[in-house]
């Protein structure tokens, strides 16, 4: 059976999956999470978990989609029916958390849009426009909401017209330019006097810096950055052709995504140590550090503009996959009673309302603080570090126990990739034992820490 695919490009399936994984999680979230968690030892933990647990989960989700040819809600309903266990609850939770993540992601994408506009204006009006612009954005929650809303409206227009392929073409066009920008930045960053300090911070594993919360934080970030635990990979997997090999795709996604995150950290940390070391634990790190640096360099305005356009296209692509997943789940669930346009509107309005919370976090809600952190940081912490690992585990448990070993084996082994023979047993073992053990240990340590 073949499912009508809307995410196919001539670059093949990998790039679609990589495109959905690569986004603000790598460039914006990773550096500050590393800063927050003390550097080298956390980076090491993250790399290990991404390769071992993250890639195994990506493979399992893709496989569920490929076998069922459905998005996550319907796919989990199917496995519930066949196994007579309530796995559909995992599907519902995925949709629920996707809704929140889409809203929160829209606000951060709005920040990117803000700098894109600032650089565009600066191209014509000169660099003075920048003075105080970041502070202005942070003090103005309604502006953040407005920018997030513009982002969501763009996403709604694209998804409503089914024009994702247009964005994919854009992505194929801007990503090489983005890669060149980032490599140029990497070269510059690594020539700064603060480089040795930054490298030491990032790669010297001082295990005493790990905290009780680090394991769960690392797992949460791994799932977020690889787009697992929300069912996005199930939807992507549902468009795989018979001959596409989910394990190869999963491994490549995890590798490419991890490498890009490390490069982003290598760009950001030397700059941060040079400019304002105090900012390294802040969720605003990227936006506080990069724009002033661009401005201080000759030709930096053009460079900054290109950088933020590329980052925005990546963020847009991720938002499209999140939004598309919500819409297709809703349309599938209504079995013919809801047309796509109404679904796009309904989902869009819900997202716009939820986005008010993170958007207003830095001003109207700035007194609402918990554990010394504001609303946006707490949303990030609660949904990504606490809830995402649990949902991911639940979903994977459902997949692992609903199929026989023979079914999983049939989808895992491939005559073209002989490594698949070697990797089959470790993969099953990781899904069944290693991942649940580490996730539960992460929760236990975190709770123990709170007591
Ligand atoms: N992986 C994306 C990023 O790194 C974020 C994302 C999370 C996308 C969950 C889809 C699902 O930016």
Atom from ligand 1 closest to the CA of residue 23: 12
List, in order, residues 6 or more apart from 324 with CB less than 8 Å away. Answer: 6, 159, 164, 235
Separation CA 53–CA 441 (nearest Å)? 14
Quote the ligand 1 centre to 128 CA distance (angstroms): 34
Quote the ligand 1 centre to 84 CA distance (angstroms): 31
SS (H, E, C) the chain: CCCCCCCCCCCCHHHHHHHHHCCHHHHHHHHHHHHHCCCHHHHHHHHHHHHHHHHHHHHHHHHHHHHHCCCHHHHHHHHHHHHCCCCHHHHHHHHHHHHHHHHHHHHHHHHHHHHHHHHHHHHHHCHHHHCCHHHHHHHCHHHHHHHHHHHHHHHHHHHHCCCHHHHHHHHHHHHHHHHHHHHHHHHHHCCCCCHHHHHHHHHCCCHHHCCCCHHHHHHHHHHHHCCCCCCHHHHHHHCCCCCCCHHHHHHHHHHHHHHHHHHHHHHHHHHHHHHCHHHHHCCCHHHHHHHHHHHHCCCHHHHHHHHHHHHHHHHHHHHHHHHHHHHHHHHHHCCCCCCHHHHHHHHHHHHHHHHHHHHHHHCCCCCCCECCECHHHHHHHHHHHHHHHHHHHHHHHHHHHHCCHHHHHHHHCCCCCCHHHHHHHHHHHHHHHHHHHHHHHHHHHHHHHHC
Quote the ligand 1 centre to 312 CA distance (angstroms): 14
> What's the pLDDT band for 12 if we cut at 50, 70, 90?
low
Q: Are 322 and 109 in contact (CB under 8 A)?
A: no
Q: What b-and-e string marks burial along 75-100, b requiring 16 or more CB atoms within 10 Å of the CB?
A: bbbbbbeeeeeebbebbbbbbebbbb
Atom from ligand 1 closest to the CA of residue 226: 1
What is the percent of the chain with per-residue pLDDT over 70, rounded to a whole number?
A: 96
Closest CA to 324 of 226, 395, 248, 227: 227
pLDDT at position 410 over 70 = yes
Token pair of 347 as six digits: 């989902």
Separation CA 283–CA 28 (nearest Å)? 8
Token pair of 392 as six digits: 């991911």
Separation CA 235–CA 3 (nearest Å)? 11
What is the percent of the chain with per-residue pLDDT over 90, rounded to a whole number?
A: 62
Residue nearest to atom 10 of ligand 1 (CA): 227
Across residues 170-193, what is the average pLDDT?
88
For 40-67, the pLDDT digits (tens) are 999 999 999 999 999 999 999 999 999 9
Q: Which one of 105, 178, 316 would you pick to mutate in the ligand 1 pocket, going by the greatest count of ligand atoms within 8 A of its CB?
A: 105
Write down how long the chain is. Answer: 451
Quote the ligand 1 centre to 58 CA distance (angstroms): 12
Residue nearest to atom 4 of ligand 1 (CA): 25
Residue nearest to atom 11 of ligand 1 (CA): 227
Quote the ligand 1 centre to 23 CA distance (angstroms): 6
pLDDT at position 265 over 50 = yes
At 239 the pLDDT is 80
At 7 the pLDDT is 46
The set of protein residues with a Cβ atom below 6 angstroms from ligand 1 is 20-21, 23-26, 101, 224-225, 227, 230, 232, 318, 321-322
For 107-129, the pLDDT digits (tens) are 999 999 999 999 999 999 877 77
Quote the ligand 1 centre to 315 CA distance (angstroms): 9
CA angle centred on 315, ends 309 and 318, rounded to 5°: 145
Average model confidence (pLDDT) across the chain = 89
Quote the ligand 1 centre to 227 CA distance (angstroms): 4
Q: Are 93 and 388 in contact (CB under 8 A)?
A: no
pLDDT at position 4 over 80 = no
For 125-168, the pLDDT digits (tens) are 877 777 778 888 988 999 999 999 999 999 999 988 876 776 77
> What's the pLDDT band for 2 if we cut at 50, 70, 90?
very low
Quote the ligand 1 centre to 319 CA distance (angstroms): 8
Quote the ligand 1 centre to 101 CA distance (angstroms): 9
Token pair of 59 as six digits: 């493979």
List, in order, residues 6 or more apart from 436 with CB less than 8 Å away. Answer: 393, 397
Closest CA to 428 of 446, 414, 410, 409: 409
For 203-235, the pLDDT digits (tens) are 999 999 999 999 999 999 999 999 999 999 998
Residue nearest to atom 6 of ligand 1 (CA): 227
Q: Which one of 20, 62, 72 would you pick to mutate in the ligand 1 pocket, going by the greatest count of ligand atoms within 8 A of its CB?
A: 20
Radius of gyration of the chain (CA): 21
At 377 the pLDDT is 85
pTM of the complete model: 0.93
Give the least confident one: 6-10, 203-207, 338-342, 409-413.
6-10
């Amino acid at each position: 059976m073949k499912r009508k695919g809307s995410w196919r490009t001539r670059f093949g399936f990998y790039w679609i999956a990589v495109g959905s994984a690569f986004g603000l999680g790598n460039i914006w979230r990773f550096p500050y999470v590393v800063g927050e968690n003390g550097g080298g030892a956390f980076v090491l933990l993250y790399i290990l978990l991404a390769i071992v647990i993250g890639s195994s989960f990506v493979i399992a989700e893709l496989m569920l989609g490929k076998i069922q040819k459905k998005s996550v809600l319907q796919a989990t309903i199917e496995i519930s029916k066949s196994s007579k266990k309530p796995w559909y609850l995992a599907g519902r939770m995925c949709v629920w958390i996707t809704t929140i993540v889409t809203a929160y992601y829209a606000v951060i994408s709005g920040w990117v849009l803000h700098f894109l506009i600032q650089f565009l204006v600066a191209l014509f009006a000169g660099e003075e426009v920048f003075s105080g612009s970041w502070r202005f954005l942070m003090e103005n929650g309604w502006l953040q909401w407005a920018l997030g809303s513009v982002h969501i409206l763009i996403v709604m227009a694209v998804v409503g017209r089914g024009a994702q392929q247009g964005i994919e073409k854009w992505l194929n066009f801007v990503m090489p330019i983005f890669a060149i920008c980032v490599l140029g930045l990497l070269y510059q960053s690594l020539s700064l006097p603060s480089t040795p300090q930054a490298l030491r911070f990032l790669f010297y594993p001082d295990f005493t810096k790990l905290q009780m919360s680090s394991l769960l934080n690392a797992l949460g970030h791994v799932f977020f950055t690889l787009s697992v635990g929300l069912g996005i990979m199930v939807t992507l997997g549902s468009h795989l052709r018979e001959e596409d090999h989910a394990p190869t795709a999963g491994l490549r996604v995890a590798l490419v995504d991890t490498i890009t995150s490390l490069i982003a950290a290598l760009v950001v940390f030397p700059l941060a140590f040079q400019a304002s070391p105090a900012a390294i634990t802040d969720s605003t790190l990227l936006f506080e550090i990069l724009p002033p640096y661009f401005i201080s360099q000759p030709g930096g305005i053009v460079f900054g503009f290109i950088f933020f356009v590329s980052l925005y296209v990546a963020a847009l692509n991720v938002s499209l996959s999140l939004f598309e997943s919500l819409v297709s789940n809703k349309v599938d669930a209504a079995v013919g009673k809801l047309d796509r346009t109404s679904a796009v509107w309904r989902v869009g309005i819900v997202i716009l309302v939820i986005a008010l919370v993170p958007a207003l976090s830095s001003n109207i809600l700035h007194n609402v603080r918990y554990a010394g952190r504001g609303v946006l940081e707490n949303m990030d912490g609660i949904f990504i570090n606490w809830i995402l690992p649990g949902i991911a585990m639940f979903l994977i448990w459902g997949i692992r126990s609903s199929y026989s070993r023979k079914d999983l084996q049939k989808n895992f082994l491939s005559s073209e990739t002989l490594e698949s023979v070697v990797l089959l047993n470790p993969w099953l073992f990781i899904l069944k034992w290693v991942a649940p053990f580490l996730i539960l240990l992460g929760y236990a340590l975190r709770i123990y820490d709170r007591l």
